[in-house]
Amino acid sequence: MIRSLTGFSTRRPWRVIVVWAVVGIFVTIMGQALVFRVTHTDSAGFLPPQYDAAAALRIAREEFGAQPDANAVTVLVARRDGKPLRDADEQRVQDVARELSATRLQMPWTDEQIRGLSEDYSQVPRVALMTTAPDKSFALLDARLRGNSTDPSMHSLYRVFHDRAQQEFGEAGLRTGFTGGLADVVDRADAEETTQTVVGLLVVGLIVLINVLVFRSVLAAFVPLFAVTVVGGAAVGTVVGAALLTGFELDPGTPSMIGTVLIGIGVDYFLFLLFRFREELRRRPQEHHRLVAADVAGRVGTAVTSAALTIVAAFATLGVATFGQFRVLGPSVAVSVLVMLVASLTLMPALLAVTGRKMFWPSRILSEKAARPGAAGRTGELVARRPVLVLVASVALLGALAVGVAGVRMDFGTGGTPRDTAAAATAREIAGALPPGVSDPTTVYVTADDGRVLDPAELGVVHRALSEVAGVGKVAAPVFDADRTAARLDAYLTVDAQSQRARDLVAGPVRQAVREATPAGLTTHVGGTAAVFADVATAVDRDLRTVFPVAAALIALILVVLLRSLAAPVVLMLAVGLCFAATFGASALVFQHIGGEAGVTFVLPLVLFLFVVALGTDYNILISDRLREEMAHGGPVRAAVARAVRHTAPAVATAGVVLAASFGSLAVNADPATRQLGFATALGILLSAFVVSLLLVPAAAALLGRGMWWPVRAARGRRDGIGRDTPEPRGRRTEARPLSGRS
C-alpha cells in the first residue's frame, strides 16, 4: 500500500501538489477562523466529575448561574493625588460601575476576522463594587466579560472596556488599574508578542540556514519548510473540524503545540527523504529522477510510516487519562501526525518527482566526488572500532544527567504574569492593603442532601470553622441562591491563590476543617483556583501511573512487529528509557536544583515521555532500518554498522537540530511552564539524535551483531565480496529489503 501511494504521487505529481495546495490552504483558513470556538479555558472543566473542585463548579453553574466563559477582571480605582477616597469619590465609583454595566461594548472587527465564522464578543459587561481597602486608598470593582480569554478578538473587546473605564473614571479625577483573569492574559500576550515574533523568525531562519549549509541549495532549503507549513496548517484545521463535529473541546495550548510538533517532525520526514534521494541520485546518475524518487519514497516511506504510527500509538494512550487536558491532547496530536504522514507519502514524493536533480541546484553534491565520508564517516568508524567504549561513555553521560531526578518536585503553578506588566503592578498595589486572595477567593458551596431550604445557623458552623483555619484571612457572609437551597462562602486566603502554599492550604487544612464542620444532612464542596489545581495534581499523578506503562508497552509491541525481532526492541526501549531519565534529570537540575524554582511543571514528565520516547524512536527506527539493510548486504557486521552510521548520521543529525530548534523556541517564553517544556524537549531530542541513535544503538548493534535481530536474524551475507573494505561496484545497485518489507 505504501509503495502504491508513493508510486501514484510520483507518477502524477502535479495533481497531488495542486490538491494539497487547494485543500490545505482552505482547511488552514477555516481552522484559524474556528479554532476559538472549540477551545476551553476552564481547567476545572477538564476534571472528572468525582473531584471536589469539579462538583463545586457544577453547583456554581447550576445554582448561581456561573458561566464557564466569564472572565474576571479586577479594576482598582483610586484618587490621582494618592489621598484616601472621600464619600463623593465612592459614590462616583458606584455610579460609573452602574454606567459601565448598562453600556454595550462593541467588538472592533479587523482584517484577520471573518464575519460569520469568528466569534462576535459584543456584550454588556457585569461590573459591581467588590470591596474598599481598609485605609480607603482604593476601591475594587469586579468586572465580568464573557468569551474565550485566548481569542485575540476577546483581547480587543477587553481593550475597549479598559479604555472606556479609564476615560469614565479619569473625567472624575480618578486613576484606574486592571489585573486578574483577562487583564493578566492580555498583558502577558502583549508583553510576549514581540519576543514570540522574533523567536519565530529566528527559528525559521535557523531551519533554512541548516538546510542551506547541508544541501547548499535554495530549493532544498525552502521547499520542505513551505510544504510543512501548509500541511501543519491543514492538520490544525483538521483537528478543529473534528472537534466541531464530535463536540469535544480543546485546551488552548493544543493548537500551538500541534504546530510546533508538526513543523519539527514534518521537516524531519522531508529530510529523511532528501538525504536518501541525494544518495540514490549519486549512485544512479543515468536513471530518471522520477523512478529514483518513487523507489526512495517507497523505501523511506516504510520507515516514516513506522515512526509516525509509533507517535500516534504513544499519544493514543492518553485516551486512558482521567484529566481532560491530557485526554483531548492525545487524539489531537494523533490526528495531526496522521495528516503529516499522508503528506509524507504523497506531497513530499510529488515534490521530489517535480524538482528532481534541480532540488539540489546549484550545488554539485550529486557527484561521486562530493560524497566524502566526513564527520559521519569518522563517527561510523569510531563506533565500529570501539563499540564498548562508545557504549559505556554514552550510558555514563545519560546516567550522570539522570541523577537530577533525585528529589524532583512537581509544580502546579499557572505561570503568573510577567512582573513588568501593568497587571502585575496593580496586583502588587492591591496586595499591599488587602489579602492576596481577595481577587481570587476560595469558595465553599453548601447544599442540603434533601434539597430543603438552608438554615443560616447551620452555615454559621461552617463559617466559623473556615475562619479559624490558619492562612484564611477573612470569610465573607453567606450568599444564597434564588430559592435558598444552596449557599456560597467566599474565603480570602492570606497567600496568592495560584501559589503552591495556597494549594497545600486548600487541599489540607481548609477541606479538612470544612468536612469536619459540615452538619449532618448537608454537603459541602470547595472550589476556586487553588482547589482546582490541588485536584489537578491528584488527577495528573494518577494518570502518570497509568499512561507510562501503557504507552511503554504499546511502543514496545509496535517495535516488535516492525522490527520482527525481540532483541532489538529491548535495546531500543532501554536506550530511550535512559534518555528520558537523563532529560528529566537535567531539567530538574537546571530549573529546580540550580535555578531555584518550586519544581518542574506538572505536565513535563508526561510530555517528555511521549515526545522523547515517541519522537526519539523515529531516529532509532531510521538507524535500525539502515543497520538491518547494511547487514543484509553481507560482510563483517562492524563494517555494516560503520556504513549505516555514515549514511544515516547526516539525516539524523540535521533532523535532530531542526526539531530541537522548533521546540527550543518555547524556551524563551515568559511562562515558566512553557519555558521548561521547550528546554527539556529540545534537550531530549538532541540526546535522542546524537547520543542514542548515532552512538548507543549502533554500538549495541556492533556488539550484538546479527543476534540483534533474534529470532529472525538478518542475512549473514552473500559471497559477493562486498564488505568493509570492498566498495560496491559503481553503477551496480544492490537491492535490500526495507524494514517492514514491501508494502
Average confidence (pLDDT) over 350-375: 74
Residue 152 sits in a domain of what CATH number? 3.30.70
pLDDT band at 738 (very low <50, low <70, confident <90, very high): very low
pLDDT (tens digit, 9 = 90+) per residue, 171-206? 888 999 999 888 888 888 887 777 777 777 887 787
Q: How far apart are CA 524 and CA 587, in angstroms?
A: 40
One domain, residues 572 and 704: yes
Print the domain residue range for 164. Answer: 69-187
Q: What residues are paired with 617 via a beta bridge?
A: none
Return the exposure string of 579-595: e unless at least 16 CB atoms fall within 10 Å of the residue's CB, then b.
bbbbbbbbbbbbbbeee
Average confidence (pLDDT) over 495-502: 81
78 pLDDT higher than 90: yes
Q: How far apart are CA 25 and CA 6, in angstroms?
A: 22
What is the residue-averaged pLDDT of the chain?
83
One domain, residues 153 and 222: no
224: closest CA among 371, 77, 90, 344? 344
SS3 432: coil
One domain, residues 167 and 304: no
Placement of cell 510576549 in the chain: 192
Residue 523 sits in a domain of what CATH number? 3.30.70.100
Q: Is residue 587 one of the residues assigned to a domain?
A: yes
Q: Is residue 208 one of the residues assigned to a domain?
A: no
Residue at a domain's end among 337, 355, 372: 372
Q: How far apart are CA 182 and CA 73, in angstroms?
A: 6
One domain, residues 589 and 700: yes
The more confident residue out of 99 and 632 is 99
One domain, residues 223 and 291: yes
pLDDT (tens digit, 9 = 90+) per residue, 91-110? 999 999 999 998 899 888 76
648 pLDDT higher than 70: yes
Please answer whether residues 35 and 240 qualify as being in contact, where contact means their C-beta atoms are separated by less than 8 angstroms: yes
The confidence score (pLDDT) of residue 391 equals 94
316: closest CA among 558, 603, 541, 622? 558
Q: How far apart are CA 622 and CA 300, in angstroms?
A: 8
Non-local (6+) Cβ contacts of 563 within 8 A are: 569, 624, 628, 709, 739
Non-local (6+) Cβ contacts of 688 within 8 A are: 576, 579, 612, 615, 616, 619, 620, 656
Q: How far apart are CA 669 and CA 54, in angstroms?
A: 30
Instruction: Give the strand pairing for 600-601 and 410-411.
Output: parallel
Instruction: Give the strand pairing for 174-179 and 442-448.
Output: unpaired
Residue 636 sits in a domain of what CATH number? 1.20.1640.10
Task: List the single range of 86-100, 319-333, 389-403, 509-523 with lowest mean pLDDT.
Answer: 319-333
Residue ranges of the alpha helices (H) in 103-217? 152-170, 182-215
Task: List the single range of 91-100, 416-425, 514-523 with lowest mean pLDDT.
Answer: 416-425
Q: Is residue 54 one of the residues assigned to a domain?
A: no
pLDDT band at 740 (very low <50, low <70, confident <90, very high): very low
User: Which residue type, as a one-letter code, is found at position 703?
Assistant: L
Q: Is residue 556 one of the residues assigned to a domain?
A: no
Q: Is residue 196 one of the residues assigned to a domain?
A: no
One domain, residues 268 and 164: no
One domain, residues 520 and 461: yes
624 pLDDT higher than 70: yes
pLDDT (tens digit, 9 = 90+) per residue, 273-297? 888 888 888 888 888 888 988 888 8
One domain, residues 353 and 389: no
One domain, residues 513 and 593: no
One domain, residues 30 and 88: no
One domain, residues 302 and 437: no
Q: How far apart are CA 721 and CA 728, in angstroms?
A: 9
Return the exposure string of 625-654: e unless at least 16 CB atoms fall within 10 Å of the residue's CB, then b.
bbbbbbbbbbbbbbbbbbbbbbbbbbbbbb
728 pLDDT higher than 80: no
The confidence score (pLDDT) of residue 398 equals 93
Q: Is residue 194 one of the residues assigned to a domain?
A: no
The confidence score (pLDDT) of residue 723 equals 36
pLDDT band at 665 (very low <50, low <70, confident <90, very high): confident
Q: How far apart are CA 337 and CA 171, in angstroms?
A: 55
The confidence score (pLDDT) of residue 444 equals 93
Q: What angle do CA 440, 425, 184 make, to 5 degrees?
A: 50
Residue at a domain's end among 533, 553, 571: 533
pLDDT (tens digit, 9 = 90+) per residue, 4-22? 888 888 889 999 999 999 9
Residue 451: Cβ within 10 Å count: 9
> Domains in the chain: how many in total?
4
One domain, residues 170 and 296: no
Q: Is residue 195 one of the residues assigned to a domain?
A: no
Helix axes 387-402, 697-704, angle to 10 degrees: 140
Distances (CA, A) of 338 to 232, 324, 344, 386, 586: 11, 22, 10, 39, 31
pLDDT band at 166 (very low <50, low <70, confident <90, very high): very high
Q: Is residue 265 one of the residues assigned to a domain?
A: yes
370 pLDDT higher than 50: no
